[in-house]
Amino acid sequence: MAEELIISAGSKEEKYRELLPQIEAVVEDETDLIANMANIASMLHETFGFWWTGFYRVHPPLGEQEGNFLILGPFQGPLACTRIKKGEGVCGTAWERGETVIVPDVEAFPGHIACSSLSRSEIVVPVWRDGRVIAVLDIDSKELATFDEIDKRYLEEMVNVL
């Protein structure tokens, strides 16, 4: 596995294109989901300098019963809320809908959960396994309207390698 992240200065899309194979290489060598989530959060956070980058996992895990809340997983950034119910906030909404949610202005999103008052925009991407959402990747920015279809496309691809 690569020991160090290598990303050259370039457009957002160029950075994602450089990052994707490095994430694949790291995940390929490790079967533990938490370890892989931790490295993906780190690599994204370091590459883009986001405010908060991390995962919430569906609890209880697959195979036990239908999940009923999200619980904080590996992340980079400030202290965060630990439990989020299905349908609540941006994370619970992305989980319930089973689709990526892009929020250009968190103040305009009804029910947004403000773990950090400095967060202004957000993207939440569901992580699928065996036809069910097992986690979400949540990224927060201190700027408005940070995330668009480019982020959605590459982040969906990145969480699919988990």
- Name which of 137, 3, 26, 144 is nearest 76 in CA terms: 137
Taking CB under 6 A as the rule, does residue 112 contact ligand SME? Answer: yes
Report, in Å, the least distance between residue 81 CB and ligand SME.
6
What residue number has its CB nearest to ligand SME? 89
Taking CB under 6 A as the rule, does residue 90 contact ligand SME? Answer: yes
Residues 95, 82: contact at Cβ < 8 Å? no
Residues touching ligand SME, count (CB under 6 A): 14
Question: What's the chain's Rg over C-alpha atoms?
Answer: 15
Question: For residue 49, what are the CA distances in angstroms to 2, 44, 55, 140, 155?
Answer: 20, 8, 16, 10, 15
Tokens of 68: 């009923």
* Segment near ligand SME (CB under 6 A); pick from 6-14, 23-31, 115-123, 126-134: 115-123
Please identify which residue in 57, 123, 138, 147 interacts with ligand SME, judged by CB under 6 A: 138
Taking CB under 6 A as the rule, does residue 53 contact ligand SME? Answer: no
Q: Give the Cα separation of 33 and 106 in Å (integer).
A: 29
Please identify which residue in 119, 121, 141, 146 interacts with ligand SME, judged by CB under 6 A: 119
**For binding to ligand SME (CB under 6 A), which residues are involved?**
52, 80-81, 84, 89-91, 112-113, 115, 119, 122, 138, 140
